[in-house]
């Protein structure tokens, strides 16, 4: 028999090495031991009754966390980006007008995706570090007459929190659907899908929930499902088709179908992460994140650092700090990781090179970890620039 020309790699004869890091960036966050233990359990088939029961548990838990009774509540086998793809793919057809509220990088990403689905894309931009007002949204909607409005509740690139109350009724005035990205915000700030009349939402498993990335909770209300049913054309991507995935998840009262092979181990981890959040309760979970964010703000400002987002528009889960003049943010982040195994991130998109980002999510939203990241941040700044004066760190760039 002829020998294979490509040899097995020598590197795979070495043992797997995974360091234990404190993930204080914008996500993923550290997982609870119960989540990690659950993921070590045996793999099950994607249509085994035990797997379907776990999927049903997840649906119920996510209805609580989203504060919705929507039948079409399920998960995608994808990262949070999949939630953005799926909402846009299902609710847009060629030529449809979409208005994107831009408070950072994720507005840019949504615009790119929507254009690939053939939409007529318009953007309304907030001032740097600020959210959009209802009046700014109203004016933009009056001008563009969109069929879909897309907003990011918490933009992890800027640390900006977008207010949502009143936007749902505004969209109904314009016969417009409202899509909201809560990847970085759900569980760290208030969100009520039904009460606020939000038509489609998705979130990240790896942020406040503290599950692994790769499985994305999503929900569509009756208006969004009706828009889907009235489409003139098929959804362009089979993998994102809400009716097919919904039937796999048993959302519509029809027999379950095979859509794809879901990861049972990701389901275990997400199920336990949701169970932990439910046991804590939404109010307690949100309060814990808000309290830790205030502790972080106070600590940073006591050292003289300037926060990027306006005080009234700050996202509790991701804090953006202006990089002081004369500081190389990358060297600071590298020192924190190399010396302390603590992740502190730089900016993204419009904030690249301008800010540090510190995340407080899930297991990492505790006073002890706030104090830890503050100390590591201070020590890493000192290591990079020994003569740095912390009281003068707020000088604007």
Binding-site residues for substrate sit at 357
CB 181 within 8 A of CB 106: yes
Residues 6+ apart with CB under 8 A from 225: 72, 242
Which structure tokens are listed for 113?
A: 């995706």
CB 134 within 8 A of CB 170: yes
Cite the annotated binding site by residue number.
357
Length of the chain, please?
397
Residue 97 to residue 144: CA distance in whole angstroms: 7
Cβ-count burial 13-52 (b if 16+ within 10 Å, e if not): eeeeeeeeebbbbbbbbbbbeebeebbeeeebebeeeebb
Residue 189 to residue 193: CA distance in whole angstroms: 13
Residues pairing with 358 in the sheet: 319
Residue 333 to residue 396: CA distance in whole angstroms: 20
Residue with tokens 């097995």: 8
Cβ-count burial 151-188 (b if 16+ within 10 Å, e if not): bbbbbbbbbbbbebeebbebbeebebbbbbbbbbbbbb
Residues 6+ apart with CB under 8 A from 315: 154, 155, 156, 159, 160, 161, 184, 185, 188, 189, 309
DSSP 199: S
Residue 275 to residue 187: CA distance in whole angstroms: 13
Which structure tokens are listed for 349?
A: 């998109």
Which structure tokens are listed for 73?
A: 């509540």
To the nearest 10°, report the CA torsion of 104, 108, 110, 113: -160
CB 329 within 8 A of CB 25: no
């Amino acid at each position: 028999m002829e020998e294979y020309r490509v040899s097995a790699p020598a590197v795979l004869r070495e043992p797997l090495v995974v360091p234990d890091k404190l993930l204080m960036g914008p996500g993923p966050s550290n997982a609870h031991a119960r989540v990690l233990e659950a993921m070590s359990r045996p793999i099950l088939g994607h249509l085994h009754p035990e797997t379907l029961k776990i999927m049903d548990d997840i649906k119920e838990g996510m209805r609580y966390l989203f504060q919705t009774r929507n039948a079409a509540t399920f998960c995608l086998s994808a990262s949070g980006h999949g939630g953005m793809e799926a909402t846009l793919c299902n609710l847009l057809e060629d030529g449809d007008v979409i208005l994107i509220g831009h408070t950072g990088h994720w507005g840019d990403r949504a615009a790119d995706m929507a254009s690939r689905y053939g939409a007529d894309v318009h953007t309304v931009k907030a001032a740097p570090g600020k959210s959009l007002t209802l009046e700014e949204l109203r004016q933009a909607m009056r001008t563009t007459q969109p069929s879909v409005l897309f907003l990011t509740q918490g933009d992890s690139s800027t640390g900006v929190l977008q207010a949502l109350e009143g936007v749902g009724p505004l969209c109904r005035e314009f016969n417009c659907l409202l899509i909201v990205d809560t990847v970085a915000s759900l569980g760290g700030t208030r969100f009520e899908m039904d009460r606020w009349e939000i038509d489609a939402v998705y979130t990240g498993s790896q942020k406040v929930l503290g599950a692994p990335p790769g499985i994305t909770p999503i929900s569509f209300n009756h208006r969004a499902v009706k828009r889907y049913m009235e489409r003139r054309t098929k959804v362009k991507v089979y993998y994102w088709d809400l009716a097919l995935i919904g039937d796999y998840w048993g959302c519509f009262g029809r027999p379950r179908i095979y859509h794809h092979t879901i990861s049972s181990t990701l389901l275990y981890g997400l199920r336990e992460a949701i169970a932990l959040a439910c046991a804590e309760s939404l109010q307690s979970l949100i309060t814990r994140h808000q309290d830790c964010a205030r502790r972080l703000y106070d600590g940073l400002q006591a050292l003289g650092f300037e926060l990027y987002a306006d005080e009234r528009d700050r996202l509790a889960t991701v804090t953006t700090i202006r990089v002081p003049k004369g500081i190389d943010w990358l060297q600071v982040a590298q020192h924190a990781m190399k010396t302390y195994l603590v992740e502190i991130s730089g900016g993204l998109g419009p904030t690249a090179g301008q800010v540090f980002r510190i995340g407080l999510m899930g297991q990492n939203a505790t006073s002890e970890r706030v104090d830890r990241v503050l100390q590591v941040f201070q020590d890493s700044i000192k290591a990079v620039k020994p003569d740095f004066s912390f009281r003068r760190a707020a000088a604007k760039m």
